[in-house]
């Protein structure tokens, strides 16, 4: 896709990042290069509010009028003038009518009187306090309020307590979640301006790969990476273009990469980027653009290609991920996800790492980052513990499927003893 801004030069970005060693690049350095290199695709569109879930706001949503638009009751009870309460809070007041939510009381509430009122009903202008009904004794048209249950101003929700007219209820760059959709609705916003969906093309490379529906010949495996990639991209709210399995053949690879580049903002491949690969993918990538090949100091993960490729008048970001199914997910979550979010117009934020207790000892040597798949469990001492899902081989997708998240063992970190605190990255958030 065409980019409105001139992209930076990758070699320049890479050389700006200190400690650059293409043979064992720390995870943090890779993230730094990617952060500096990717740019948002700034094309906005106005969409129906419900279609905006998971999209990124392109402009602030301004509050047109105070929310709520009137002082209102926070309880079912009686609205009164705080000045009518005795010093100890007690009073006997006469009821002059009823105020319901959506049906305000039109009349006046004079001194010494009160109004039967329901939650959300507009407060009469002269009242500033609501006594909950469970505190009152009703005697005919009189309401007796005992001492000590109430202070002036209690249970009255002021106009504008949620949002004030003129302020930004939601700011540009916000990835819209359910509460944001509700908040925009509370302003009466039928539509909002969001950045257009990111288009991401992906393909798998490797002669041993078979697609679902094909017979599994001797020595072959089903292509699972296209399915995990599809699923992770769906969760991110991208528009996806599945280019299938591409044979390890230069002409086929070039055709597929050009097609991807001409129809997407970003291209993701899996397999065929390790140095020992006999295949042609690396060479074809290099001829199509500005691409670096990394060996990253991480496990799983390690080989990855990154850059920008061009075809015709189009260019697209390129992420060449490793082939091993777990490595695909780890590199997607730690490098690609953030880059795509930034391209979508969202701010780049570090992933939330939670301190949890390691339930077992974990062997680790400094000099690389490790992502161990783990389940969470509640310990007898009440704290959260994390236990690995067993075999941590990078081809063992079961280790991801069974896990609640990653135990992240950082670059400089050494082995961990049972009972030590470790960082945990959960797979799921609440929304």
Least distance from ligand AMP to the Cβ atom of residue 323, Å = 2
Q: Which stretch binds ligand AMP (CB under 6 A): 21-29, 95-103, 216-224, 255-263?
A: 216-224
Kindly write out the interface string for residues 266-305 of this chain, putting x where it contacts ligand AMP by CB under 6 A and - elsewhere: ----xxx-x--x----------------------------
Helix (H) or strand (E) holding 129: strand 129-132
Kindly write out the interface string for residues 370-399 of this chain, putting x where it contacts ligand AMP by CB under 6 A and - elsewhere: -------------------------x----
State how far the Cα of 10 lies from the Cα of 27, in Å rounded to an integer.
17
Tell me the angle at which helices 281-288 and 250-263 cross, rounded to the nearest 10 degrees: 40
Q: Taking CA 318 as the corner, what is the angle to CA 209 and CA 282, rounded to the nearest 5 degrees? A: 55
Helix (H) or strand (E) holding 208: none
Q: Which stretch binds ligand AMP (CB under 6 A): 188-196, 204-212, 236-244, 403-411?
A: 204-212
State how far the Cα of 38 lies from the Cα of 25, in Å rounded to an integer.
19
Helix (H) or strand (E) holding 33: helix 27-37
Residue 246 vs 357, nearer CB to Mg ion: 246
CA distances from 67 to 60, 309, 412 (A): 17, 49, 50
Q: How many CB atoms lie within 10 A of CB 55?
A: 22
Per CB under 6 A, does 209 bind ligand AMP?
A: yes
Helix (H, G, I), strand (E, B) or coil at 346: coil
Per CB under 5 A, does 325 bind Mg ion?
A: no
Q: Which stretch binds Mg ion (CB under 5 A): 77-85, 86-94, 200-208, 357-365?
A: 200-208
Q: Taking CA 254 as the corner, what is the angle to CA 251 and CA 258, rounded to the nearest 5 degrees? A: 140
Helix (H) or strand (E) holding 198: none
Helix (H) or strand (E) holding 97: strand 91-99
Residue from 89, 99, 124, 272 in contact with Mg ion (CB under 5 A): 272
Residue reference for tokens 């080989």: 303
Least distance from ligand AMP to the Cβ atom of residue 279, Å = 7
The listed partner (ligand AMP, Mg ion, none) that binds 228, CB under 5 to 8 Å by sort, is none
Per CB under 6 A, does 155 bind ligand AMP?
A: no
Cα 259 off chain centre by: 29
Per CB under 5 A, does 206 bind Mg ion?
A: yes
Least distance from Mg ion to the Cβ atom of residue 227, Å = 17
Residue 38 vs 245, nearer CB to ligand AMP: 245
Residue from 324, 331, 399, 413 in contact with ligand AMP (CB under 6 A): 324
Least distance from ligand AMP to the Cβ atom of residue 321, Å = 8
Residue from 65, 152, 224, 255 in contact with ligand AMP (CB under 6 A): 224
Per CB under 5 A, does 320 bind Mg ion?
A: no
Q: Nearest to Mg ion by Cβ — which residue?
A: 206
Question: Sign of the C-alpha dihedral, residues 48, 52, 58, 62?
Answer: positive
Instruction: Identify each DSSP E strand in 280-365 by its residue range.
Output: 289-299, 303-311, 314-321, 354-358
Identify the DSSP state of 135: G
Least distance from Mg ion to the Cβ atom of residue 236, Å = 25
Least distance from Mg ion to the Cβ atom of residue 273, Å = 9
State how far the Cα of 163 lies from the Cα of 229, in Å rounded to an integer.
40
Q: Taking CA 13 as the corner, what is the angle to CA 9 and CA 14, rounded to the nearest 5 degrees? A: 115
Residue from 271, 320, 345, 405 in contact with Mg ion (CB under 5 A): 271
Least distance from ligand AMP to the Cβ atom of residue 282, Å = 11
Contacting positions for ligand AMP (CB under 6 A): 204, 206, 208-209, 221, 223-225, 270-272, 274, 277, 322-325, 395
Contacting positions for Mg ion (CB under 5 A): 206, 271-272, 323
């Amino acid at each position: 896709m065409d980019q409105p801004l001139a992209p930076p030069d990758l070699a320049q970005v890479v050389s700006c990042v200190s400690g650059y060693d293409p043979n064992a690049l720390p995870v943090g350095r890779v993230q730094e290069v990617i952060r500096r290199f990717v740019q948002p695709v700034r094309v906005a569109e106005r969409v129906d509010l419900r279609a905006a879930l998971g999209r990124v706001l392109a402009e602030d949503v301004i509050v047109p009028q105070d929310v709520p638009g009137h002082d209102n009751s926070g309880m079912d009870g009686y609205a009164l003038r705080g000045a009518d309460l005795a010093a100890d809070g007690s009073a006997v007041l006469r009821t002059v009518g009823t105020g319901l939510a959506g049906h305000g009381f039109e009349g006046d509430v004079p001194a010494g009187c009160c109004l039967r009122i329901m939650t959300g009903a507009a407060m009469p202008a002269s009242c500033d306090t609501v006594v909950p009904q469970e505190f009152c004794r009703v005697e005919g048209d009189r309401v007796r309020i005992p001492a000590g249950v109430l202070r002036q101003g209690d249970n009255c929700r002021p106009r504008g307590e949620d949002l004030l007219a003129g302020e930004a209820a939601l700011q540009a760059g916000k990835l819209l979640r359910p509460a944001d959709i509700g908040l925009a609705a509370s302003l009466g916003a039928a539509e909002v301006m969001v950045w257009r969906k990111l288009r991401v093309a992906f393909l798998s490379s490797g002669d041993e790969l078979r697609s679902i529906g094909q017979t599994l010949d001797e020595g072959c495996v089903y292509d699972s990476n296209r399915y995990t990639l599809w699923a992770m991209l769906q969760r991110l709210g991208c528009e996806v273009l599945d280019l299938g399995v591409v044979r390890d053949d230069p002409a086929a690879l070039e055709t597929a990469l050009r097609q991807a580049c001409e129809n997407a903002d970003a291209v993701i491949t899996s397999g065929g980027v390790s140095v020992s690969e006999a295949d042609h993918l690396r060479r074809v990538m290099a001829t199509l653009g500005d691409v670096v090949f990394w060996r990253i100091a991480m496990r799983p993960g390690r080989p990855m290609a990154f850059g920008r490729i061009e075809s015709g008048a189009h260019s697209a970001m390129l992420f060449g991920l490793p082939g091993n199914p777990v490595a695909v997910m780890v590199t997607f979550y730690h490098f690609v996800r953030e880059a795509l979010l930034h391209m979508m117009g969202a701010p780049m934020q570090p992933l939330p790492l939670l301190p949890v207790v390691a339930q077992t000892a974990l062997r680790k040597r400094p000099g690389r980052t490790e992502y161990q798949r783990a389940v969470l469990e509640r310990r007898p001492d009440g704290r959260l513990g994390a236990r690995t899902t067993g075999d941590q081989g990078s081809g063992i997708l079961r280790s991801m499927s069974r896990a609640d998240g990653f135990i992240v063992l950082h670059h400089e970190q050494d082995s961990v003893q049972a009972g030590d605190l470790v960082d945990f990255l959960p797979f799921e958030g609440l929304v």
